[in-house]
Structure 1
Amino acid sequence: MTKLKLRPVAIDTYRENVAYLHRGCTFYRSEGFQALNKIEIHKENGAQPVIAVLNIVDDANITAPGELGISEQVFEQLNLPPGTSVTVKHASPPASLDAVHDKINGESLDYDQYLKIAQDIAENRYSKIEIAAFLVGCAETGFEREEVLHLTRAMVASGDQLEWGEDLVADKHCIGGIPGNRTTMLIVPIVAAHGMLMPKTSSRAITSPAGTADTMEVLARVDLLPGAL
C-alpha cells in the first residue's frame, strides 16, 4: 500500500469518484498504477475506504508527485483536511461481477446476487463499463417475474429510505421520453387535492428541451435533500 498526501482538485465529476496521480510520482510505476484503475483510499482510523477511478496527470499545478488529487465528491466523502496522509492501494474487483457474468450468459439471479450488485454499485465499486455490462445483460436476457422483485428489493435495501408515516403512499409512472408530455404535472396535483400522499421524483431533460423536473422548477424548488422532504 502507498501513502500520499491529499490535495483537493476543484473538479465536479458528477457523482463519480475520481482521483489524480502525477505521472512523475515514484509510486506510479512501482505500484503498477495505470489510468482508469480503481483504487481504494484508506483513512488512518480504519474506516470504510473510498473507491475512486484513477486519472494520471502531467501538470504539477493539478497534482504534484507525492500527492493524491481528489475530486470534490471524494473530498466530501473523506472529510479530511488537505495534506492529510492517506493509504492508497489497488481496489479488488467486486465479487458480484461473477453474478453479472451469469446474467450476461442468460442465467436468472436470486435476491442475494442482486443485493450484492446493488450494494457494490452504490459504493462506487463498479466502473461505468461494468455498470453498462450489467444493464446490457439485463436488457438482452430479460427478467423472470421473481427477478423484478429481487432487483427492486435490492435497490431499496442499498439506498436511503424515507418513511412517510402514512398507510397508503400513492405513486405514478409512465413510459417517459415523450417530448412535451406533462402527465405528471396533471395527475399529481389532482391526486394530492383528493387528500392522498403522492411524493414524486422526476428527471431533468433527457430527450426533450425540458424534463418534468425542469418544468416544475418554474413553480417551486425541486432539488430537495432527504431531510427537507
Structure 2
Amino acid sequence: MNLTTQHTKHSLRFRDLGIDTNQELVVFMPASCHVCKSEGFQALTRLSVSFNGSSTIAALNITSDGLLKEGEISLSKSAIQKLSVQDNDLLEVAHIEPLQSITSVRSKLYGNTLHQQEYDDIIQDIADEKYSNIFLSSFVAACSGSNMKLEEICYLTMAMIKAGNKLEWGNEIIADKHCVGGLPGNRTTMIVVPIIASLGIMIPKTSSRAITSPAGTADTMEVLTNVNLSLAQMRKVVEKENGCI
C-alpha cells in the first residue's frame, strides 16, 4: 500500500553562518524556533529544505547562545551551493515524506529476493540523497556476502545506470579500468590511464577518495590538479586528452 502524507511547509529567513561540513548537508535552526516546537523537530531530524523550486534533504543541527535569531535558518556550505541561496532568502522546511523503498531494504535484510523495480526505487532514493547513513548502512549490510542472486546483481547494476547521468562520445571502444583497491601506494590508475589514452583509446576514469588507506586515487591526483569536474568539464577534458582521472 502506497501511503502519502501532506506536510506543512514553514518559511524561515536564511542567514549564512559560514559553516563548512564538507559534503554533509546540514540545516541549522535555533533552539527557540517555533517551527521546531510545533513540528517536533529534534537534533539530527532529516528535513526537506526548499528554495525557488529546488529542494534538498538535510540533517538538523540545533543552535544556542543566540547564534541564530527566532525566524532564522542557516545551511552548511554544501547545502548553500546546492540550493543557490543568499542572505535574507526565504527557505521552506518540512518533514520528509516516508520512504517506501525502506520496506524493500528491510525485506532484503530478512533474506528475501528483490526485483528490478524495488532496486530502482532504492537507488533513486539514494541518488536523491533521501537515505540517512543508517539506511545506507542497512542496505549495504543487506547486500553483503552472498546475499544477492546473480539476477539481483544485474537489477542493481541497471538501477545504478538509470539513476546516474550518462555520457556518450560515439566511439566504438570506450575503455575502463578497475582494481581491488584498498592497498596503500597502489597508484595503478595514474600510470595506466595516460598510457591507454596515449594509444588512442578513450578512457574516461572516475576514481574515489580514500576509504581504507591514507589517500585514494582522487586524493593523490588532486595534488597535481583539480579532480572535482562537472559533467561538462569532464567531457571537455576527455575530448581534448582522450581520457581523464
Aligned residues of 1:17 and 1:124 also touching (Cα < 8 A): no
Tell me the alpha carbon deviations over residues 49-82 of structure 1, each in whole angstroms, 9 at most, x when there is no partner.
3221111111322x22211111122222222332
* RMSD after superposition: 2.0
Aligned to 1:228: 233
Aligned to 1:29: 37
Structure 1, unmatched stretches of 5+, are none
Q: 2:56 aligns with which of 50, 53, 64?
A: 50
Aligned to 2:197: 192
Change (3 A) 1:184 1:97: same
Moved more, 190-199 or 165-174: 190-199
* Distance in structure 2 (CA, Å) of the matches to 1:209 and 1:179: 7
How many equivalent pairs are there? Answer: 226
Aligned residues of 2:21 and 2:77 also touching (Cα < 8 A): yes
Aligned to 2:138: 133
**Which letter maps to 1:31?**
E
Q: Secondary structure at the match of 2:48?
A: strand
Tell me the alpha carbon deviations over residues 167-203 of structure 1, each in whole angstroms, 9 at most, x when there is no partner.
2111111111112223223332332232211111223
1:79 aligns with 2:87: no
1:169-180 to 2 correspondences below 5 Å: 169-180=174-185
1:12 aligns with 2:17: no
Give the CA deviation at 1:219. Answer: 4.7
Q: Secondary structure at the match of 1:89?
A: strand
Change (3 A) 1:135 1:213: same
* Distance in structure 2 (CA, Å) of the matches to 1:219 and 1:57: 39
Q: Secondary structure at the match of 2:24?
A: coil
TM-score calculated relative to the size of structure 2: 0.83
Structure 2, unmatched stretches of 5+, are 1-7, 235-245
**Which letter maps to 2:25?**
N
**Which letter maps to 1:49?**
S
Aligned residues of 1:103 and 1:141 also touching (Cα < 8 A): no
Q: How much identity, in percent, do the aligned residues show?
A: 43
1:46-195 to 2 correspondences below 5 Å: 47-61=53-67, 63-140=68-145, 142-195=147-200
Change (3 A) 1:85 1:150: same
